[in-house]
Every structure is written in C-alpha cells, then in structure tokens.
Amino acid sequence: MALSYNIDTPQELRTLPISSLADFCEELRFSLIDNISLNGGHFSSNLGVVELTVALHYVFNTPEDKLVWDVGHQAYPHKLLTGRKSLFHTNRRQGGISGFPCMEESEFDAFGTGHSSTSISAILGMACAARYRNELNRQHIAVIGDGALTAGLAFEGLNNAGFEKANMLIVLNDNNMSIDPNTGALQSYLTELTAGKQYNALKSRIKRLLLLIGQDNNWPLAKIRQLEKIIKAGILDYSNFFEALDIRYFGPVDGHDIQKLISILEKLKDIPGPKILHCVTVKGKGYLPAVTDKANWHATGKFNRQSGVRLQDEKQHGIKTFQEVFGDTLLKLARKNKRIIAITPAMLSGSALTTMKKEMPDRVFDVGITEQHAVTFSAGLAADGLIPFCTIYSTFLQRAYDQVIHDAALQKLNIVFCIDRAGVVGPDGPTHHGAFDISFLRCVPNIIGASPIDLEDFKNLLYTAQDKKEHGPFAIRYPKGIGIAQDTNSAFMKLEIGKGRKIRDGEHIAILSLGPVGQYAIEACKELALEQIEVAHYDLRFFKPLDEKILHQVFQKFSVVVTIEDGSITGGVGSGVMEFMVEHGYSPVLKRLGLPDTFASQGTQQQIHEQYGYDKKSIIGLIKKLHHNFSIINSKK
C-alpha cells in the first residue's frame, strides 16, 4: 500500500478533513501491521484502537488535554501519531522506545502504564488537580479495556469518580477479550448492554415522548430536560451500573466508525462531570489471522504478514520452556491429586494453563485481572482443604503483597505460588521485569521460597510443593522462556525443603547461585577450569529457608564468595547470604550479582543479564579478577 499521508503529530492530523480520516486509519493500520511483522510486539489490541486513537487526538487538544492509556499495550497508534514514527522500529528494543506509554519519553504520554487498571484513578487525580487549580477548560480522558475494567483498582477509581464529579471521560474499549476471552460477570453485563441496547432504546424513547408532550404544551427545553432527568433517575439510572455510580453512560457505539466517534466525542466535550463512552471494537481488526485467533495474536514475534506464519518459534527447535513444563507437570499432578486447583488472574495461555482448563474446566479458575482477589480466593480454597496453585507473574504479584502476607502466610495456608516471569522478562521492560519477588518474599514469615536451576528440578519442586506435610505457602519462581532440560520425563523426586546442592568443587572461590542463572555459572566454571581456575559452584535452590549447612561449609572453606540471582540484589538471596555471613562472624570477600538498585531497562533477557553483569561472560571476567587479586594477596603473605 502506498502511504499518502505524512502525519507525525496530532496538530498535523487535525488539518485533515473528517472525510479523509477513514482512509488515514486504513493507512495507519497498514503501517502497524507492517512494523510489528518486522519487529514483533503487542498486536491485536493496537489494530482494534486505530479509529479510537485517531478520533481522540482529532477531537481533543493533546497534549494539553490529558490522555491515559490503560495497560498501554494498545498505545502503538498513539505513539505513531505523537512524534515517534521515525523511532518506531526501535520499539521494545534495548535503547529504543518503550512498548508502553512513558512520561519520560513524550509529553503526549500523560501517565506511564504497563500494569493494568490504573487509568481511571490516574485520570481522576489529574481532573481533581485541574479543578483545584481552577483550570476548567482542560479535558481528561482514560481509555480502558473490558479486561482491565475487571480489576479492583478500576472499581475503586469508578467509585471515587462518581463521588468527586470531576471532569473526565472514560472510554471503555470493549472487544470482549482480555488476553484470553474475558471472564466474569462484568463481561456478561457489558455484552447485555451491547446486545440488548434496551437501556439506550428506552432512553431515547423517553426523550422523544417528552419532546412531543413538550411541543404540545409549549414547555421550554430546560423543563423537558429536567423532566427527562427525573424520569431517567427514577426508571433508568439505577438499572445502569455506571449511571448508578453517578457516571453518565453513553453508548454502545461502533468503535470503528470514525465519523460517528468524532461526532460523539465533540458532544461529550461539552458535558461536564464524569462520563463513560462504551465503544465496541474488534480485537485484531484488519488482520484476519488475528481476528480469528485473538489470544494467539495478543502479542507476537516477527511474522510473515502475507501468510501469518511466525518466524521465531522456539518450539520448532524442540526446546521446552518453563511454561510448557509447568503446564504439563501441573496437569499430571492434578490427575493424581484431586485436591489440586489452578488459579490465574487473566494469564491463562501465558501461564500454559489452557490444556488443563480444557481437560478439567472446573479445576482451573481464570478470575480476571484480579491479583489481589486471586490470592485471597486461593486462600479460601486452601482454608477449605484444597491445594491451590496460584499462578501469577512476578511483576503482577506485587499488587497482591498484602494478600500474600495477611491472607496466605499469616494463616499458614497451603498455597503454591507459581511465580512465572521471575527475573528479567526482556522487551516488556521495567514495568514487567520480575525483579523484586525474592526481596519481598524473603521477609515474610512462614513462606518457603525456591527457584529451579533446570526443568527437571522445576518439575520436582512442583511435585514437592503439593506433597509437603508442613503448613504454609510454597513459592516457586521461574523465568520466561526456555530452560535447560535434563530429563523431564523422569519419575518425580521429592526434594528436601531448604536444601541446596553442590554442583562442582573448587578452590578459594565459590559461586552460590539461585535459579536458572546457575546455568551461566556452570558454563563459566567449565571455561575457567580450562585456564586452571577451579571454582566451586553450589545451587542454593531455596531462597527461604537458606541451606545453612552449605553456607557454613562454604564460608569455612572459601575466602571469596560470589552470589548470583536473576532479581534485585537489594534484599535478594545474596543479601540473605550476607546476613548469614555477618551473623556467624565470617569475613570473606563477598560479591553479589543480580539487578542493581535501579529499574532495569528493556532488551532481550541475554542483553539485560549482560548489561548488569551476570551473564556467563561477565561472571568469567569477575572471577578472573577476583582470582588475580586473591593470588596477589596470598603471594604477599
């Protein structure tokens, strides 16, 4: 398709006649498909909001008017329209632009997002700030999806918005999908609103009737409006969820009809107070494979745009991911242990629970984007004797910290926390890295915490967690992507809780690793041995409780100790080792490798490990330096 519009900014967009906007949208959609096919990224949500994005920037005076994108995975058309077209090929790459709105990146990104359901609270905050400063002309818009609307945080925002009555517009982008099909009673309600259209039909019938009566009786328009309000309040408002909260409801409208969207948004600009515009859109609009297989096209790697075939598929090489092993293992365990239940807050396919859901629909709960609820719901199941495998990405578990402490750990409930995407996740960047779970779990009493070095260990940890006799939560953290496979078909083996293992003996220097980054240590030790540097390596396996027997052995024998973890070193497992060292009066040289006290940037996982100095090469470099220093000190003795 030949690109005929050269639009880089909303100011330029606003010079186009309305009649050309449908055409422009098609072109924008084309360039999105083109770009994502070459670079990968979030896909179908972006195709679904092309018209919405164009209409919003056309009608509202961005960046003065504030526009917040919930989650922000659908903000690519917004980025293309707000001065970032020439940088878009760097999207999600190391050093490139972020795949999410980011305040540092552009004045058009009114609020940084990545985690869902923050937009209503954030825009309400801005609307109240404007009111406080008496800036009454500014507009405030939040775009939130039907999936993101399921979260408690979104409901908290609605509750407060209806009360505050500040000037704001919530655009509800209802495509009947989260990443997987959206679940929950709210979705059924939205579908009823959309399909039934009863609310709107009745509303316009009342209006028409009043106008007729008013004409016959020469009533002024204000009187008609007042009567309409009274009747609506009496009959209708309390039957509409949003109106009942004092948020005026408009729609549903076709979110792909650009002309209609513009005319409605223009009208809404003049209506003060909180309002919601319910837009119905199609996720994946304009690219057939994405429309037919929506969940699979939520995000994608590079693909052939003609055939729709993905170009980088790890499965093609027969390598297993932690996610695959998780899904297979849990299903196997659940077939034998009827008490096992799986819970996911809206990450069914990402967490590899789709097959189990098909085989055991009543034992897999997709509870929507509700991490807090997911944990307390799991606590309820556990309190009643079941064994919930509460599967949550590390970054999203942050939202449920109080539930982990108050509902799970304090009550010593047998929940298995399967902490997926632990460690750096790659191109999703700082909003999504699983950097903090070791640090925030290590200080919570009653929790067991582990991380497998390989896939076989992973399988055995899952087995151990459901079979343990002790009471209390068991957290297993594992990263996104492929793992080293020993024998994943071997018989399950129960592991001793809090026990690590020696992988390799050595002299003077020892490495203590946690999780799959231990593979870097294995490789590094092999290479160092070729240069006659013999380094000992221990796999801690548990970050809580730590294996004190191993730690005593290590500190008694080695004068240089290096810890490695894929997470923040502030409070991480290395800190635990350091606390042990100080408490027991050991004084070796201790180096802790992992993420420093900063929000780690985006890139591939390998690039990020390299950047922060805990990939194989960096480990070799550090050990050589330590070995050199150690030799000098000893030669001087």
Ligand X SMILES: CC(=O)[C@@H](O)[C@H](O)COP(=O)(O)O
Ligand Y SMILES: Cc1ncc(C[n+]2csc(CCOP(=O)(O)OP(=O)(O)O)c2C)c(N)n1
Smallest gap, in angstroms, from Cβ of residue 74 to ligand Y?
Answer: 5
DSSP string, 86-137: GGGGGTTSTTS--SS--TTT-TT--S--SSSS-HHHHHHHHHHHHHHTT-TT
175 binds Mg ion (CB under 5 A): yes
Number of H helices, E strands in the chain: 25, 19
What number of chain residues touch Mg ion (CB under 5 A)? 5
Q: How many CB atoms lie within 10 A of CB 231?
A: 16
Site residues (CB under 6 A) for ligand Y, limited to 166-225: 175, 177-179
| Secondary structure element (H or E) that encloses residue 417, with its range | strand 416-420
The stretch among 143-151, 225-233, 310-318, 615-623 that binds Mg ion (CB under 5 A) is: 143-151
379 binds ligand Y (CB under 6 A): no
115 annotated as a binding-site residue: yes
Nearest 5 degrees, angle CA 265-CA 270-CA 271? Answer: 95
Smallest gap, in angstroms, from Cβ of residue 476 to ligand X?
Answer: 17
Single out the catalytic residue among 248, 283, 357, 363: 283
Q: Nearest to residue 322, comparing CAs of 360, 298, 345, 350?
A: 350
Interface with ligand Y (CB under 6 A), residue from 97, 210, 253, 346: 346
Q: Closest CB to ligand Y among 154 and 550?
A: 154
147 binds ligand Y (CB under 6 A): yes
- CA dihedral sign, ordered 557, 561, 564, 565: positive
474 binds ligand Y (CB under 6 A): no
Nearest 5 degrees, angle CA 563-CA 567-CA 572? Answer: 60
| Secondary structure element (H or E) that encloses residue 290, with its range | helix 288-292
Nearest 5 degrees, angle CA 10-CA 15-CA 17? Answer: 120
Smallest gap, in angstroms, from Cβ of residue 145 to ligand X?
Answer: 10
Smallest gap, in angstroms, from Cβ of residue 474 to ligand X?
Answer: 23
Q: Please, are residues 454 and 559 in contact by the beta-carbon 8 Å criterion?
A: no
Site residues (CB under 6 A) for ligand Y, limited to 235-294: 283
Which of Mg ion, ligand Y, ligand X, none lies near 369, with the C-beta cut-off 5 to 8 A by kind? ligand Y
Single out the catalytic residue among 51, 243, 324, 371: 371
287 annotated as a binding-site residue: yes
147 binds Mg ion (CB under 5 A): yes
Question: Reduced to 3 states, what is the DSSP secondary structure of residue 435?
Answer: coil
Interface with ligand X (CB under 6 A), residue from 73, 399, 442, 627: 73
DSSP string, 294-343: TGGGSEE-SB-TTT--BS--GGGGTPPBHHHHHHHHHHHHHHH-TTEEEE
79 binds ligand X (CB under 6 A): no
Please give the span between the terminal C-alpha atoms of the chain, in angstroms, as a whole number: 75
248 is catalytic: no
Q: How many CB atoms lie within 10 A of CB 504?
A: 17
Contacts with 299 (C-beta within 8 Å, 6 or more apart), sequence order? 40, 41, 42, 43, 73
The stretch among 52-60, 146-154, 230-238, 543-551 that binds ligand Y (CB under 6 A) is: 146-154
73 binds ligand Y (CB under 6 A): yes
Which of ligand Y, Mg ion, ligand X, none lies near 480, with the C-beta cut-off 5 to 8 A by kind? ligand X
Interface with ligand X (CB under 6 A), residue from 141, 299, 330, 438: 299
What number of chain residues touch ligand X (CB under 6 A)? 10
Token couple for 279: 């837009």
Interface with ligand Y (CB under 6 A), residue from 396, 463, 558, 612: 396
Q: Please, are residues 274 and 222 in contact by the beta-carbon 8 Å criterion?
A: no
Instruction: Tell me the CA distances in angstroms from 200 to 170, 173, 196, one per residue in order.
Output: 18, 18, 9
Token couple for 574: 């290395």
Find tokens 């729709």 and name the residue. Answer: 308
Smallest gap, in angstroms, from Cβ of residue 428 to ligand X?
Answer: 5
Interface with ligand X (CB under 6 A), residue from 256, 285, 480, 508: 480
| 43-52 burial: b if 16+ Cβ within 10 Å, else e | bbbbbbbbbb
369 binds ligand Y (CB under 6 A): yes
610 is catalytic: no
Task: Reply yes or no: is the peptide bond before residue 10 cis, omega within 30 of 0.
Answer: no
The stretch among 124-132, 144-152, 458-466, 531-539 that binds ligand Y (CB under 6 A) is: 144-152
Q: Closest CB to Mg ion among 175 and 300?
A: 175
371 is catalytic: yes
| Secondary structure element (H or E) that encloses residue 503, with its range | strand 501-504
| Secondary structure element (H or E) that encloses residue 169, with its range | strand 168-174
Smallest gap, in angstroms, from Cβ of residue 184 to ligand X?
Answer: 18
Interface with ligand X (CB under 6 A), residue from 71, 97, 236, 261: 71
44 binds Mg ion (CB under 5 A): no
Which of ligand Y, Mg ion, ligand X, none lies near 29, with the C-beta cut-off 5 to 8 A by kind? none
The stretch among 49-57, 421-429, 455-463, 521-529 that binds ligand X (CB under 6 A) is: 421-429
Q: How many residues does the chain have?
A: 637
146 binds Mg ion (CB under 5 A): yes
Which of Mg ion, ligand Y, ligand X, none lies near 363, with the C-beta cut-off 5 to 8 A by kind? none
145 binds Mg ion (CB under 5 A): yes
Nearest 5 degrees, angle CA 345-CA 350-CA 354? Answer: 85
115 binds ligand Y (CB under 6 A): yes
512 binds ligand Y (CB under 6 A): no
Smallest gap, in angstroms, from Cβ of residue 628 to ligand Y?
Answer: 46
Single out the catalytic residue among 399, 480, 591, 616: 399
Smallest gap, in angstroms, from Cβ of residue 151 to Mg ion?
Answer: 13
Residue ranges in contact with ligand Y by CB under 6 A:
45, 48, 71, 73-74, 115-116, 145-148, 175, 177-179, 283, 346, 369, 371, 396, 399
Catalytic residues: 283, 371, 399
Q: Please state the residue numbers annotated as binding site for thiamine diphosphate.
A: 73, 114-116, 147-148, 175, 287, 371
Residue ranges in contact with ligand X by CB under 6 A:
71, 73, 179, 298-299, 350, 421, 425, 428, 480
Residue ranges in contact with Mg ion by CB under 5 A:
145-147, 175, 177
